[in-house]
Amino acid sequence: MEQAIRRLWIVILALCGLIAFGTLAFHLAEGLNPFDSLYLTITVLSTVGFGDIVPETASGRMIYMMLVLVGIGIFGYAVSSIASLMAERSVFKLARGFLFLGGEEKLRDHVIVVGWNQVSKFVCDEMRVNGQKVVLIVEDDERGREASRAGYDALVGSPLEEGTFKAARIDSARAVVLTEDDPSKNLMTVLRVRGLSKEVKIIVVCSDDLMRSLFYRAGADRVINLANVSGRILASFVFEPLVAEVIEDLSEARIGLDARQLTFRAGRSYTVGELRSRGLKGIIFMVMRGEKKHYYPGESFALEPGDIIVLAGLKDHLDHDEKLLEGL
């Protein structure tokens, strides 16, 4: 996208130079006032040609022919380029933000999702439900338009190019999720991303167990085999369907059951029993303290500032609990 915008600026500058040249040349050759000279130049370049003002001198006609031969192509290319960018609503919005509104300053703590397919659609929908800002990277205009129609910011560019991730503000992103089907391309993308940022979290979808170790060596933080996860859920529907239904419900946050990860930021320690007495509604499924995991802690377990909590329960209850913990 950076290259397309750079070419567009060059064309626009060339067009402005032609307009300035034509205005000055008609003013000197035809003796027209500056406004009429500008008007004649614009009608020539846009091929409108009303005929109300026409060059009468040989010099004026030479200028007219030169503008027709040189300027119409540049004018048409500039107009079509602008129309193409504006048709890509989200691409244009990002470009507009980067160039004119300082949008790069507002694009922080976002998630970059590479690819537009069934997996990335569910990823983006879940991110949106949970209030996360998503920027998509796609490789062709059609997928960019489709993602834009779905309401997501889409950046058209190769995930193997440094400029694509710089435009998506990799330096201030929270995570990068790779959902493409080609494991070799995902592997090269991991190397590209890790070369640009040592801190950003990289999550890769991969169905090839042989590639798993390579992704981790390249710098991925998590490698998810969707076939394993979905296969276990499918098997559970056969012999323990209620368990499978609970797992499926927990996997999406729109309605029903949900699971949420929160950081305990209170000013002092609180036992689970104290939190219950203050109105905690969800179930504390796990507490992560340092590298140690404490599953289903009892009422006397003391939560310390900095602990990471995994809460499970109804979505409305977890919304309440999140506000409760923030107020401690």
In this predicted structure, the answer to whether residue 101 has a pLDDT above a threshold of 50 is no
**31 located within any domain:** yes
Same domain, 213 and 264: no
Residue 257: pLDDT band (50, 70, 90) is confident
247: in domain: no
- The pLDDT tens digits for 282-322 are 999 999 999 899 999 999 999 999 999 999 888 889 889 99
- For residues 81 and 207, membership in a common domain is answered with no
3-state secondary structure string, 122-177? HHHHHHHHCCCCEEEEECCHHHHHHHHHCCCEEEECCCCCHHHHHHCCHHHCCEEE
Q: Is residue 242 assigned to a domain?
A: no
Phi, psi of 221 (to 5 degrees): -90, -40
Q: Is the pLDDT of residue 49 over 70?
A: no
- Is 102's pLDDT higher than 80? no
The answer to whether residues 187 and 208 touch, using CB atoms and an 8 Å cutoff, is no
Tally of domains within the chain? 3
Lowest-confidence pick of 53-57, 71-75, 175-179, 266-270: 71-75
Residue 308's pLDDT is 95
- Mean pLDDT for 70-85 is 70
96, 201: one domain: yes
Does 254 have pLDDT greater than 70? no
Q: Which one of 212, 229, 246 terminates a domain?
A: 229
Tell me, yes or no, whether 199 and 272 share the same domain. Answer: no
Give yes or no: residues 77 and 95 share one domain. no
**Of the candidate ranges 66-75, 77-86, 283-292, the one whose mean pLDDT is the lowest:** 77-86
Please check the confidence at residue 73 and state whether its pLDDT lies above 80.
no
In-domain check, residue 263: yes
Q: Average the pLDDT over each of 146-150, 249-253, 257-261, 268-272 and give the range with the smallest value.
A: 249-253
Q: Are residues 94 and 220 in the same domain?
A: yes
In a domain, residue 107? The reply is yes
The whole-number pLDDT of residue 253 equals 60
Per residue, the 3-state secondary structure of 217-283, as one string, reads HHCCCEEECHHHHHHHHHHHHHHCHHHHHHHHHHCCCCCCEEEEEEECCCCCCEEHHHHHHCCCCCE
* pTM for this predicted structure: 0.60
Q: Give 8-44 pLDDT, tens digit per residue.
A: 777 778 888 888 998 999 889 888 899 999 988 888 8
- Of 189, 213, 229, which residue is a domain's last? 229
Closest CA to 284 of 293, 265, 43: 293
Task: Evaluate if residue 100 carries a pLDDT over 50.
Answer: no
One domain for residues 196 and 83: no
In a domain? residue 118 = yes
Q: 235: how many CB neighbours lie within 10 A of its CB?
A: 11
Q: What is the mean pLDDT of the chain?
A: 84
Residue 138: inside a domain, yes or no?
A: yes
CATH number for the domain harbouring residue 313? 3.30.70.1450
CATH number at 55 reads: 1.10.287.70
Q: Quickly state the pLDDT bin for 153 (edges 50, 70, 90).
A: confident
Region class of 166: left (phi > 0), else alpha (psi between -120 and 50), else beta: alpha
- Please tell me the predicted confidence (pLDDT) of residue 9: 79
pLDDT for residue 95: 44
**Domain extent for 264:** 255-326
Tell me what the mean pLDDT of segment 133-149 comes to. 86
